[in-house]
Amino acid sequence: MQALERAELLQRVADRDLRAAEFQDHAASHEVDQAKALLARYRDNPDTPFERWDITAPVPGVVLKVVQESETVVQSGAPLLEIGDPRDLEIVTDVLSVDAVEIRPGADVLIEHWGGPGLLLGRVRRIEPAAFTKISTLGVEEQRVNVLIDVLSPREQWAGLGDGYQVDTRITVFTQDDVEIIPAGALFRRGDSWNAYVLKNGRAQVRDIKILRRSGRLAAVAAGLTAGEIVIVYPSDRVSPGVRVGLRQPSS
């Protein structure tokens, strides 16, 4: 099943790359035709007065941005309009370079805070090989990497999205079944190993914990805990092995 999904993903990526290459080829052919027509018009008679020159769109789509709004003389090759197809969007999200090294093409993505109800599904198509410097809101220089994501949810679900819209993304970098998850606040270092306090018969019991993965809030445990055991989160210095501990009842 996974091999089939990977093959389908590779096919979708190849189809998208093919469409992009066809658009580029069509646009290049269009520019060549324009240049040939212009040369043919003035080659035989260089004194021919300038006249109106109609510019046609190289690809189908809608106008996304008018670069040159007022009448003026422009240099050859200067952009006049930005044209795109809003039905064929991709998401570009920038992540810290230290996080980008763990992202792989084909990773599942959850798209949230996009303006509509629920979550959208996506998949990583490409991680750009070069990072860039970005100043954070705290004024700290960060090295970030652009990640390109294809939207997998049906087009009808996200029809309101357009070019340049803001979304938040959550990219899956690790998955494993049948693993114990505990709050990261239950972990503490003792020597070179991770430990946690477990509540056993009303008393705190220290355990050596082998961490499989750790995020900001949660940790995946490879060994040291069994399902259903209660851990003590953010233990204070009053907690020690054998000390009696009671469960706090949630306030109503």
Task: Please report whether residue 205 resides in a domain.
Answer: yes
pTM: predicted TM-score of the whole model, two decimal places: 0.61
Q: Are 158 and 119 in contact (CB under 8 A)?
A: no
Q: Which pLDDT score, from 0 to 100, does residue 93 have? A: 94
Q: Which pLDDT score, from 0 to 100, does residue 39 have? A: 67
Q: Are residues 199 and 246 in the same domain?
A: yes
pLDDT digits (tens, 9 = 90+) for 134-191: 988 888 899 999 999 999 999 999 988 888 899 999 999 888 888 888 899 899 988 8
- Overall number of domains in the chain: 3
Give me the domain span that covers residue 1: 1-35
Q: Are residues 125 and 197 in the same domain?
A: no
Give the domain-ending residue among 122, 153, 171.
171
For residue 101, give the DSSP letter: T
Give the whole-angstrom CA distance, residue 207 versus residue 220: 15
pLDDT digits (tens, 9 = 90+) for 124-139: 999 999 999 998 888 8
Q: Are residues 136 and 181 in the same domain?
A: no
The residue ranges of the chain whose pLDDT is under 50 are none
Task: Please report whether residue 50 resides in a domain.
Answer: no
Give the whole-angstrom CA distance, residue 229 versus residue 122: 35
Q: How far is CA 211 from CA 97, 177, 214, in A?
A: 23, 15, 7
Q: What 3-state class would DSSP assign to 166?
A: coil
Neighbours of 38 (CB within 10 A): 12
Task: Please report whether residue 67 resides in a domain.
Answer: no
Q: For CA atoms 102, 107, 108, 111, give the dihedral sign.
A: positive
